[in-house]
Copies of this chain bind each other. A is one copy, B any other.
Amino acid sequence: MTQTIHDLQTPALLVDVARFEHNLAAMAAVLPGRRLRPHVKATKSTALARRQAELGHVAFTCATLAEIEGMASAGLGEDLLLANEVLDASRLGRVDARVTVAVDSEETIAAAARGGVAEVLIDVNVGLPRCGCAPEAAGALADRARRAGLEVRGVMGYEGHVMPMQDRGERREATRSSMEKLLAAHERVGGEVVSAGGTGTFDLNTWASEIQAGSYCLLDREYAKLGLPFQEALTVLATVISVSPGWSVADAGLKALAMDHGNPSIDGATVWFCSDEHVTFAAQSRPRVGDRVRVRPAHVDPTVARHGALHLVEGERVVDVWPVDLRGW
């Protein structure tokens, strides 16, 4: 029997297959093969990552130890980058995969060596106040890493502060400025890899050797404002459980939706607020109890991380179910 969205328990994540495949194709056209190092944090599914690998993107970016371990277990460990600092790298040293880890300090270099990781990238601060050493410190850290027996593959530097800039020209100039810093660091560090970028700069960042985009697969409301060639492909299916004069309530709340970018949206309705397990909204045409609605999260990455499965849909037909198997830490 064909399953439809009406057979699903709610809340449930839906992925529109046509939009998802459009996004994959649009990205692969600009960044084929290893020019893209997909970031799995945005999607947290080895089944989805396998689809990216089928398109030639066989090297991946991860944000957590659990993502590295899960990708390795799934046989997707040809070239995994943990684009994040860790002080205990012992779990990385144990996985059956090629693992590279970002380092930006003496302590993280020591941790990588102690944990049995073979390869590192020097993480450089290119303008986002987060991790990364000063560009002028990168050479000394690379020397230290090599003395610790680590292979230094190159540099990474995430221009995350550029992503929200609405104006494409402004994004390009800010990216150029960031990448000047990264390339200066690269001169001092050496190696073949210059890893950077994200969905918002995927075609603007022409300086990096590889781009770490992940959100492009499913997109979300914030990225949709940038005029990128990608489409919003993820919604949270909810059931209308209560209808009052003036408002309705569906069963997808702030435990099923990321709220850090604000309220979700529902087409044809105004969202009033979310509670733990509810979204209260005013719809243009009053729904009936039992109706299904599709709720669009403001931020996809942490929304996916709340759920156990991605339901791939063509219209109302559920054509596949992919476990969200890279959650936790």
Contact = CB atoms under 8 A, between A and B. Distances in A.
Interface of A: 9-11, 41, 63-65, 84-88, 104-105, 107-108, 125, 129-132, 134, 160, 239, 241-244, 246-247, 249, 251, 254-256, 258-260, 272, 274-278, 280, 288-290, 301-302, 305-306, 308, 328-329
Given A107-B289, A276-B301, A87 B244 contact: no
Contacts of A88: 9
A273 B328 CA distance: 21
Given A255-B302, A329-B10, A84 B131 contact: no
A105 B289 contact: yes
A287 to B, nearest CB: 12
A90 to B, nearest CB: 10
B302 A129 contact: no
A125 B245 CA distance: 12
Contacts of A305: 255, 306
B242 A130 contact: yes
A242 B105 contact: yes
Contacts of A277: 41, 63-64, 84
A247 B130 CA distance: 8
A278 B64 contact: no
B249 A131 contact: yes
Copies of this chain, count: 2
Contacts of A125: 244
A55 B134 CA distance: 55
Contacts of A134: 244
Nearest to A252: B329
27 contacts: A9-B65, A9-B88, A9-B329, A11-B329, A41-B276, A63-B277, A85-B249, A85-B251, A86-B241, A87-B239, A87-B241, A105-B242, A107-B289, A108-B241, A125-B244, A129-B244, A129-B280, A130-B242, A130-B249, A130-B280, A131-B278, A160-B275, A254-B260, A259-B260, A276-B301, A276-B302, A308-B328
Contacts of A301: 255, 276
Contacts of A104: 242
A241 B63 CA distance: 13
A311 to B, nearest CB: 13
Contacts of A278: 130-131
A179 to B, nearest CB: 19
A167 to B, nearest CB: 22
Contacts of A105: 242-243, 289
A86 B64 CA distance: 36
A272 B160 CA distance: 15
A85 B11 CA distance: 13
Nearest to A85: B241
A246 B129 contact: yes
A131 B329 contact: no
Contacts of A259: 258-260
B84 A241 contact: yes
A328 B9 CA distance: 11
Given A88-B9, A105-B289, A289-B107, A260 B274 contact: yes
Contacts of A41: 276-277
